A and B are shown apart, each in its own frame.
Chain A
Amino acid sequence: MIIVEPKSFEEIEQMTKGCGRLLVLGCETCSAMCFAGGQRQVAEIASSIRMSKKMSQDQTEVLDDTVARQCELEFLDHVKDKVAACNTVLSLSCGAGVQTMAKMFPDRRILPAVNTKFIGRATKRGEWMEMCMACGDCILERTAGICPVTRCAKGLLNGPCGGATGGICEVSKDQPCVWQEIYHALKRLNMLHYLKQKPQVKDWPVHPDKVVRKDLREVGAT
Chain B
Amino acid sequence: MDNTTHIEYQDFPPCQMACPILTDAREYVQFIAERRFEEAFASIRKLNPLPRVCGRICMHPCEIACKRGQIEEPISIAALKRFAADGPWADHYKVALPGKSTGYKVAVVGSGPAGLAAAHDLALLGHHVTIFEALPVLGGMLRTGIPAYRLPKDVLDEQIQTILDLGVEVKTGVLIGEDIKLSNLFEHGYKAVFVAIGAHEDRKLGIAGEDEIEGVVSAVSFLRQVNQGENPEIGKKVAVIGGGNTAIDSARATLRLCADAVYIVYRRSRKEMPAEEEEIEEAAHEGIQLFYLTSPLEIIGQDGKVSALKCIKNELGEPDASGRRSPKHVPGSEFAIDVDMVIAAIGQVPDSSLLADELELTERGNRIHLNVPNTLATTLAGVFAGGDAVTGSATAIEAIAAGKKVAISIDCYLREESPPTASRTEVVETKKLPSGVVEKTQKFARCHNISLPIDERLKGFDEVKSVFSEDLAVQEALRCLHCGIGASVSTERCISCLNCVQVCPVGAPATTKMGEINIDRFLCQACGICALECPVQAIDIGLHPRGELGQQIKKAVSMSEDTAVVGFFDYQGSFGPDDVSSLKKQYPGIAPIMVFGLRRVDTSDVLNAFEAGADAVLLAGCPSAREPFAAASSGVTQRMAQAKAVLDVLGLDGRRLQIFDMPERGLVDEEHLTEFMHTIADLGPNPLR
Contacts and interface: CB of A to CB of B under 8 A. Distances in A.
Nearest to A10: B649
Chief secondary structure at chain A's binding surface: helix
A44 B536 CA distance: 13
A32 B536 contact: yes
A41 B535 contact: yes
Interface in B607-622: 607-608, 610-611
B688 interface: yes
Interface in B514-551: 534-537
Nearest to B608: A47
B652 interface: yes
A57 B213 CA distance: 102
B635 to A, nearest CB: 11
Interface string A36-47: 011111011001
Given A47-B604, A51-B607, A51-B652, A39 B537 contact: yes
A161 B495 CA distance: 41
Given A38-B536, A39-B535, A125-B503, A32 B688 contact: no
A15 B603 CA distance: 22
A206 B408 CA distance: 81
A55 B648 CA distance: 12
A23 B678 CA distance: 38
Interface string B665-689: 0000000000000000000000110
B323 interface: no
B498 to A, nearest CB: 8
B522 to A, nearest CB: 24
B645 interface: yes
B603 A44 contact: yes
A98 B598 CA distance: 36
Given A38-B535, A51-B611, A51-B688, A43 B604 contact: yes
B273 interface: no
Contacts of B228: none
A29 to B, nearest CB: 7
A13 interface: yes
Given A10-B649, A51-B650, A40 B503 contact: no
Nearest to B613: A54
Count class of interface residues, chain B: 20 to 34
A33 interface: yes
Count class of interface residues, chain A: 20 to 34
Given A39-B537, A55-B651, A55-B688, A44 B604 contact: yes
A4 to B, nearest CB: 12
A125 B634 CA distance: 14
B607 A48 contact: yes
Nearest to B533: A35
A29 B602 CA distance: 21
Choose among A29, A54, A122 the residue with the greatest number of B CB atoms under 10 Å from its CB: A54
A172 B611 CA distance: 44
B495 A32 contact: yes
Q: When A and B form their complex, which 8 residue pairs have the shortest distance between CB atoms, in order from nearest?
A: A38-B535, A43-B604, A33-B497, A47-B607, A32-B535, A38-B536, A44-B604, A125-B502
17 contacts: A28-B495, A28-B535, A32-B495, A32-B535, A32-B536, A37-B535, A38-B535, A39-B535, A40-B536, A47-B611, A48-B650, A50-B611, A51-B650, A52-B650, A54-B611, A55-B650, A125-B503
Interface of A: 9-10, 13, 28-29, 32-33, 35, 37-41, 43-44, 47-48, 50-52, 54-55, 66, 122, 124-125
Interface of B: 495, 497-499, 502-503, 534-537, 602-604, 607-608, 610-611, 645-646, 649-652, 687-688
Given A44-B607, A55-B687, 19 more contacts: A28-B535, A32-B536, A33-B497, A35-B499, A39-B536, A40-B534, A40-B535, A40-B537, A40-B603, A43-B602, A43-B607, A43-B608, A47-B607, A47-B608, A47-B611, A51-B611, A51-B652, A51-B688, A55-B652
